[in-house]
């Protein structure tokens, strides 16, 4: 045996005196774990030793802390997303229904008249009325027509109708325009929200990529430490 004199070494944490192979120099302990130990034991020094039982306990605790922190971070991130969704509510709403609700009776009537005035039904009916009017007054010409040949009364009726129809159509057109404007505003809002959501998704992905990888690597390093120890010990076991 080339080993030095078996100086009794004690573990800093539990104070037990154990064999050299059961101890780990404090210097060899990973920084992040050493910090955790320092938090628990203020008299922890970098020059002493720690027994493997204690070291493994702290390693497990460290990994547990890591996982817990991650869980907390994630739930807070999720809460943020839910919060923002709650605040924005649903931006998309049926503009047509809301617009229709806000219409007054006169406006609704104007819309109906305008849509009727622009239909084939109106043109055909009106044509029929004209033909009947002219026909009646032509046939009754010999007796006593109520609107004789140049049809002056028909002229008056027609110009009155045109005079009324023009502003009604304009009213309806104005309303169509304002409805279109509302719709485009709504579209803009929805697009904006979608953009924000996508940005949030990006942030979430970035978080996953950067933070989680870091954590995983840290956990893996601790595991590698453990494996190295196991390998060393099984190696020394076969030697002796």
Sites of contact with Zn ion (CB under 5 A): 11, 13-14, 51, 54
The beta strands (E) that lie in 48-183 are given as 49-51
Nearest distance from C-beta of residue 74 to Zn ion, angstroms: 34
| Crossing angle for the helix pair 213-239 and 52-88, to the nearest 10 degrees | 160
- Closest CB to Zn ion among residues 6, 15: 15
Distance CA 175, CA 153 (A): 34
Q: Which of 15, 65, 82, 13 is nearest to 42 (CA)?
A: 13
Q: Which residue is nearest to Zn ion (CB)?
A: 11
Nearest distance from C-beta of residue 18 to Zn ion, angstroms: 7
- Closest CB to Zn ion among residues 22, 218: 22
- Closest CB to Zn ion among residues 48, 145: 48
Residue 24: enclosing H or E segment and its boundaries?
strand 23-25
Q: Which residues contact 146 (CB under 8 A, 6 or more apart)?
A: 137, 140, 153
Nearest distance from C-beta of residue 15 to Zn ion, angstroms: 7
Nearest distance from C-beta of residue 19 to Zn ion, angstroms: 12
> Are 51 and 71 in contact, with CB atoms under 8 Å apart?
no
- Closest CB to Zn ion among residues 12, 172: 12
Nearest distance from C-beta of residue 210 to Zn ion, angstroms: 36
- Closest CB to Zn ion among residues 40, 199: 40
Distance CA 85, CA 196 (A): 11
């Amino acid at each position: 045996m080339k080993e030095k004199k078996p100086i009794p070494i004690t573990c800093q944490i539990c104070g037990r005196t154990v064999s050299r192979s059961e101890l780990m120099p404090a210097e060899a302990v990973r920084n992040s774990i050493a910090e955790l130990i320092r938090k628990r034991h203020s008299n922890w020094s970098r020059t002493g030793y720690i027994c493997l039982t204690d070291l493994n306990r702290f390693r497990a605790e460290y990994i547990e802390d890591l996982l817990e922190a991650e869980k907390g971070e994630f739930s807070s991130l999720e809460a943020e997303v839910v919060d923002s969704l709650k605040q924005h509510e649903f931006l998309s709403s049926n503009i047509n229904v809301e617009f229709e609700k806000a219409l007054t009776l006169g406006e609704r009537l104007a819309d109906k008249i305008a849509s009727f005035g622009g239909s084939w039904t109106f043109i055909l009916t009106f044509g029929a009325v004209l033909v009947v009017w002219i026909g009646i007054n032509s046939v009754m010409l010999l007796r006593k027509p109520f609107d004789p040949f140049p049809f002056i009364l028909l002229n008056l009726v027609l110009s009155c109708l045109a005079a009324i129809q023009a502003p009604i159509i304009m009213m309806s057109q104005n309303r169509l325009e304002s409805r279109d404007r509302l719709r485009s505003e709504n579209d803009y809002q929805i697009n904006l929200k979608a953009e924000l959501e996508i940005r949030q998704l990006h942030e979430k992905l970035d978080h996953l990529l950067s933070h989680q990888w870091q954590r995983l690597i840290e956990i893996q390093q601790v595991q590698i430490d453990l494996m190295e120890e196991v390998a060393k010990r099984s190696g020394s076991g076969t030697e002796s």
